[in-house]
Amino acid sequence: MTKLSVNINKIATIRNARGGNIPNVLTAAINCQLFGADGITVHPRPDERHIRYRDVLDIKPIITTEFNIEGNPNDKFIALVLSVKPDQVTLVPDAHDAITSNAGWDTVKYKSYLTDIVSTFKKSGIRTSLFVDTNIENIEYAALTGTDRVELYTEPYATEFATNSVKAIEPFVRAAEAARKSGLGLNAGHDLNLDNLRYFHQNIPWLLEVSIGHALISDALYLGLENTIQMYKRQLAG
């Protein structure tokens, strides 16, 4: 069964736009789990423009499913993850000023760097995942770092899906097969939504987890959070 991890960054974005604590990210995390989410994802950035480091510390005690922390592994991020000890850490090479994640790791270039960081997290019992594109070499080198999983960066799939779904999925199937051959678990995320998620899952049935935030929270504005989570879960059931 493919798990649905709900990224609640956008809840924090709305809160931060006004100040105060409305909407409450802790309540959002609790409700997402009650409504059927298999996990909660947060992606703290250095400027704390959405999820704050304090939020991560506060959220940890109320997680009853799975906690996934994403981010670029600078010293502050590494210290945060080691103190919180989530179920999974997803390492993403996003620049400090990036609007959103927009590329996977060059694992050939950063193999030694990533190997050291992965080892640090695994020694603390934290499952590791590297954010990668569909370049087969990057996936093979990801395996050499000792990571447990890779997360496929799916924006290219989402962009092309509406015009040519078959062409859009092909490189992701090849990448997924390469990951499986290399002994890696497989996650996916970025711009997956109610239109394209089912097709992605049908073509990569051994997918372990998807992390979805922007589209799901946006859909929830119209459809309600509980209904939206259940709708996403149904896309992963068929």
Which residues are the active-site residues?
43, 70, 190
Q: Quick check: 12 and 25 in contact, CB under 8 A?
A: yes
Cα dist from 5 to 8, 35, 47, 187, 214, whole Å: 9, 12, 23, 10, 12
State how far the Cα of 84 lies from the Cα of 126, in Å rounded to an integer.
Answer: 10
Tell me the H-state helices in 19-110. 25-34, 53-59, 75-84
Where are any strands of DSSP class E within the chain? Answer: 3-7, 39-42, 67-71, 88-91, 127-132, 149-153, 185-189, 209-212
State how far the Cα of 17 lies from the Cα of 22, in Å rounded to an integer.
Answer: 10
- 35's CB contacts (< 8 A; 6+ apart) are 225, 226, 229, 230
Q: Quick check: 218 and 195 in contact, CB under 8 A?
A: no
